[in-house]
Structure 1
């Protein structure tokens, strides 16, 4: 215990220096520093006690109130006030005394110093030590014994939330110049730290401030960990292959390739004759619909392109509960824009769809908003608004409602050329 006391006193002496000179402390100050501590429990006055006077072991009761400020996630100060009640147990001479104290203590976050975060993020440990003033009062006489004190203790923490922690504390108090015994039966002319009192309490710490976490639970390398997590998330995002063509999005120069069409190393559908129809799709169309004498007419026939559009091969997709097209699905809008520019007499229905999650009335509004969003893009691309007709198709129940992957396919806008 003596070694602990000296260690905590030393920590208190250097805490303010550490707050200014420690180069390895948390650089990010976006955490709360203030807290209020409430606790209650039992005590045991050890000495001095009069002959024939003693309390229960342990003896009720003690109450503590503290206000703490942390300079960083390792060191801080707290002002606290305590109240102890001492009464004789059944076979002791009767007495009733009260002990009041006020202390200023240095606080060391031993959980952070000893890197508890390597094995837990919910258990903490604080050490505290400091000096203060105290007064012992006898309820059966006018005795009031004023004294100085030194106290040191250990506080265990269990984080219940970012705002509250459950605490358990054990503290030793040494009284200096305590002239009266704790039972007030005897007075003397005392010198030095001759009085000893033990307290054990359970309580709550309430964290104050607008930030998410308190300094008690902030890690030295927290910002570095966040950066690494973000980098990993960015890599995972960049490796997505939205159009399933085998080329990651960050390399894909054609992020909305028609499914199943062969692409080159840059994710672009192969179109050797540059007629804007992927060779693989062109080959299928010629084989299925063309004749040996009229292949070019099939490929260049605007009616065929119109049928492809009307059958849903050209679409624009949306994220859940969003009315703005995803970045990788604007190719469908570009396709329609090109078609309308090449066919100035054509008009188009812009048909909005939504998945089945949520209320039907809301999904009707969402499908309308999606269609209007696409219309706005086309209008800003100088397509006359009179050529664009918004249609709300509402919920699309053609896929399994409990499949997230399937629902992505129906959160879309399709087109119908007229």
Structure 2
């Protein structure tokens, strides 16, 4: 049980301030919780002393503040009377325990979305720390104890201002020097968590504030279905991105790096019937011009390459180009062969997923592998300058379609 509730306290104390559900002014945050019930003390007891299993009397009063609809804190005080079971007149005792504690609360009903099937029943989990004092006629003063509390409570909403609550709490005590019946208790000289007191209570929660509902019961009007629709619309906007402006969205584009303006098929692939790496439309245009015009066209092509319209793309965490990048590589090979005086920077990039240092090395490997492909195709390696530029942060790292656009090698011709 401790393993379950220890994380609950940490979440309540550290996550509650930042976690928000619903606007800050949409629900009431304060409540006054009044409870009464039975208690049962476990060890330590003197030899021959016993307590009733459902011993009266326990009472507590608490003030709870919810940071949001899921997490909050409660300061409360408690009072217990511990009596013998009445079976042995020689073993009668009466002890009193007064305590104060601070606990973190988790609204498990909101966390587990009870609102999908009920608006009347709720569950609260809580744990925290406190101090208490045990007193008995057998000794003067009081035995001061440290407390660790964990518990679980159920609620039933009567109205927006009142709820019935039932709770079971286990209190582990330390630094206890007296038994519950008042005798001295110091078997080892030091006490650990070897003393336990249980509470089973029922009571009322009174909700304070000007709003209609308290955080225990408030549900944001924006439904999960609407949030899902908004998320899908955002994803659809990303899906419709068309990086190379060829009229085919990236998620359907088998070749997301075609030169702007050239004809493509229904899958976004450049039409190149003679498979020479140059789009037919562009090749026909070049061949139709004289030498002067060809020089001008070559300059335009250089501008396109330098502008990032001819790239080599990579799959996630891969340093070898994917199959869709063949045309881009062929296009660059043909240009460099036709223009032997031109040199090129071969610049690698990675997306933002993963370690920055790893991505830096990955981008350099991508550039090196593309250079090797160009060298194997007959381009002199001295004309190629390798650069690893690491992560490209220009797109949303949350979109897998956008990330595929920046896993690339691009070129700067000189």
TM-score (norm 2): 0.51
1:135 paired with 2:133, answer yes
Q: Is the 8 A contact 2:130 2:147 kept in 1?
A: yes
Q: Is the 8 A contact 1:181 1:187 kept in 2?
A: yes
1:116 paired with 2:131, answer no
Render the CA deviation track for 1:102-154: whole Å, top value 9, x for unaligned.
00111100110011111110001111111111100003431510011110101
Equivalent position of 2:221 in the other structure: 222
Give the Cα separation in 2 of the matches to 1:99 and 1:8: 26
Change (3 A) 1:227 1:208: farther
Give the Cα separation in 2 of the matches to 1:139 and 1:32: 45
1:224: Cα distance to partner? 4.6
Equivalent position of 1:64 in the other structure: 60
Question: Where do 1:304-383 residues align within 5 Å?
Answer: none
Q: RMSD of the alignment, in Å?
A: 2.0
Give the Cα separation in 1 of the matches to 2:10 and 2:121: 24
Give the Cα separation in 2 of the matches to 1:152 and 1:164: 24
Q: Is the 8 A contact 1:8 1:152 kept in 2?
A: no
Question: Where do 1:136-285 residues align within 5 Å?
Answer: 136-188=134-186, 189-219=189-219, 221-224=220-223
Equivalent position of 2:298 in the other structure: none
Give the Cα separation in 2 of the matches to 1:173 and 1:91: 26
Render the CA deviation track for 1:208-228: whole Å, top value 9, x for unaligned.
011111011011x32458999
Aligned length: 223
Q: Is the 8 A contact 1:67 1:79 kept in 2?
A: yes
Q: Structure 2 stretches of 5 or more lacking a match?
A: 228-414
Identify which of 77, 80, 93 aligns with 1:81. Answer: 77
Q: Structure 1 stretches of 5 or more lacking a match?
A: 229-418
Equivalent position of 2:288 in the other structure: none
Equivalent position of 2:412 in the other structure: none
Change (3 A) 1:208 1:227: farther
Change (3 A) 1:18 1:5: closer
Give the Cα separation in 1 of the matches to 2:65 and 2:190: 35
* Structure 2 SS opposite 1:212: coil
Give the Cα separation in 1 of the matches to 2:138 and 2:221: 56
1:7: Cα distance to partner? 3.2
Change (3 A) 1:67 1:94: same
Give the Cα separation in 1 of the matches to 2:119 and 2:191: 45
Question: Where do 1:7-26 residues align within 5 Å?
Answer: 7-14=7-14, 17-20=15-18, 22=19, 25-26=21-22
1:161: Cα distance to partner? 0.2
Give the Cα separation in 2 of the matches to 1:192 and 1:226: 50
Render the CA deviation track for 1:322-366: whole Å, top value 9, x for unaligned.
xxxxxxxxxxxxxxxxxxxxxxxxxxxxxxxxxxxxxxxxxxxxx
Give the Cα separation in 2 of the matches to 1:225 and 1:29: 21
Give the Cα separation in 2 of the matches to 1:166 and 1:226: 31
